[in-house]
Amino acid sequence: MSESPTPTWVWGLLVAAVIGVSSAGALFQHVDAIPPLLRASWRLQLTSLVLLPMFLVQFRNMDEHVSSQYRSSTTWRWLVASGVALAAHFGTWVASLDETSLTHSLLFVTAHPLVIVVGMLLFAPVLTNVRPPLPKESIGAVICFLGAGLTLLDAGSSQGGQTVTLFGDALAFGGAIFVVGYIVIGRILRSWMPIFLYAFPVTFIASVLLIPASMAMEPSFSEFGTFGWTNPVYFGWFLLLALVAGLLGHTGLNTCLRYISPLVVSVSVTLEPVLGSLIGWLFFDSGVPGTWTWLGGAVLMAGLLTVVVASEQHAQVQANNQNGTEGA
């Protein structure tokens, strides 16, 4: 019997979700009067409020087995670790938007597939549960490094009022490194944990952690305050970040995974630097990337696509083999 076709609305949701995720960089850069760590905290605070009602529904409807696991200290250690990783991801990435161009920030923060390949290369020899990278993944990683090197030739150039800097690009890549922790822990816990039982506490923990970090590192913290997003001047922008980039974007992608191959979703998300740059150029005058950014960005994205396709195809083969073994 053939599989039922994917509902049309799912494809529409995928397009909307990818656009939603891609809009975050331009929106964050638009409100750059607010220091970056506090900006990140405000975004996560509002996202937590949006997620709270759905968290409460899932919390009340937990079955006994999930409830027992959810309340365990081991689970909450994982949730706190994921919150730390998410806070570090947002903190470094939003800071990068003040230090480099929008396109460069998006290119480097979406390079987490490269981070995963490098991690496999480093940890596979010493950890039995980590596989070595596949040949195509390694080739993709080399292409990524080549593309990243080419984009850096634009360092010092101005793009839409922002100057491309190595420091800013490094901050964005730091965001990619930290988000891997969030992704890996999410894959472990989401194998049994409903989405909002994971997303709400992790998002809330990250929002709280960024407050003392902002107080300690950002002198203008007192000018805006912990809950400054309630100011009508800023509320609309951060509500957009919470609803469009957070709820529609990330939750929408998770919903699509129930109906569409992870490969299709992963490849779609790789388009974030292109769509995000287009959104910034059309709506926020973020400027046109330089020649080396165009060239290096295309090479970097080709490398990321190579890694993503190889990884997802391998995961699909493994899942099919496991299903075949269980069905035998």
Q: What is the pLDDT along the chain (328 residues), one digit of tens a residue?
A: 445 678 889 999 999 999 999 999 999 999 999 999 999 999 999 999 999 999 999 999 999 999 999 999 999 999 999 999 999 999 999 999 999 999 999 999 999 999 999 999 999 999 888 899 999 999 999 999 999 999 999 999 988 789 999 999 999 999 999 999 998 998 899 889 999 999 999 999 999 999 999 999 999 999 999 999 999 999 999 999 999 998 899 888 888 888 888 788 888 999 999 999 999 999 998 888 999 999 999 999 999 999 999 998 888 888 777 766 665 5
Q: Which residues contact 269 (CB under 8 A, 6 or more apart)?
A: 18, 21, 110, 253
> Tell me, what's the pLDDT at 1?
42
How far apart are alpha carbons 218 and 221 in whole angstroms?
6
> Tell me, what's the pLDDT at 6?
81
How far apart are alpha carbons 292 and 297 in whole angstroms?
8
> Tell me, what's the pLDDT at 134?
94
Q: Residue 171: phi, psi to the nearest 5?
A: -60, -45
How far apart are alpha carbons 213 and 36 in whole angstroms?
11
Give residue limits of the domains in the chain.
14-327
> Tell me, what's the pLDDT at 191?
87
- Output the DSSP codes for 9-48: HHHHHHHHHHHHHHTHHHHHHHTTTS-HHHHHHHHHHHHH
Bridge-partner residues for 134, per DSSP? none
Question: Which residue intervals of 220-328 are DSSP H helices?
Answer: 221-224, 232-240, 252-256, 262-269, 272-284, 291-327
Q: Which residues contact 9 (CB under 8 A, 6 or more apart)?
A: none
> Tell me, what's the pLDDT at 324?
64
